[in-house]
Amino acid sequence: MTDFDIIILGAGAAGLMAGIEAGRRGRRVLVVDHAKNPGEKIRISGGGRCNFTNINATHVLGRERFLSSNPRFALSALSRFTPDMFIERVKKRGIAFHEKTLGQLFCDGPATQIVSMLIDELRQAGAAIWTGRSVGSVEKDRRGF
């Protein structure tokens, strides 16, 4: 069995992005999901066109929009990875998109383009992905989890 530095439970948008970034930082990463295909919620979001970001979700513009017991967390995260950074990835991939209400960006074509982009980036980062696998429990022992 392969050893991993990081195992991410869930191959949705957050899990795939976490896997990409951890893999790019040299970690041995595994992303596990119960669904047969990764990114299923991405695929069906926005009526199949995927609302992939919002140009107003920035640490400057979003300051008044985050409701949380720790709103600084969202602001900190958004200052490190901006909507423009994700838009650049989408453009580089050649995915056409348009703006709808209040800065929401949607694919012109199917949302599967975003899923494919994320999976390709995950694999390029050296991460593994296992789908169709349920995780019954996670336990810590003397060697790790």
Please give the domain boundaries of the chain with CATH numbers for all domains. 1-38+112-140 (3.40.50.720), 51-110 (no CATH)
Tell me how far apart the alpha carbons of residues 84 and 92 are, in angstroms, rounded to a whole number: 12
The reported pLDDT for the residue numbered 58 is: 75
The answer to whether the beta carbons of residues 90 and 52 sit under 8 Å apart is yes
Q: Give, as one character, the DSSP assignment of residue 36.
A: S
Tell me how far apart the alpha carbons of residues 142 and 145 are, in angstroms, rounded to a whole number: 8
The reported pLDDT for the residue numbered 26 is: 97
pLDDT in tens, 53-73: 989 887 776 666 677 788 777
Global pTM reads 0.87
Look at 2 and 19; give whichever has higher pLDDT: 19
Q: Which two tokens stand for residue 20?
A: 């990409």
The reported pLDDT for the residue numbered 53 is: 92
Tell me how far apart the alpha carbons of residues 49 and 4 are, in angstroms, rounded to a whole number: 34
Q: Quick one: pLDDT band at residue 79, thresholds 50, 70, 90?
A: confident
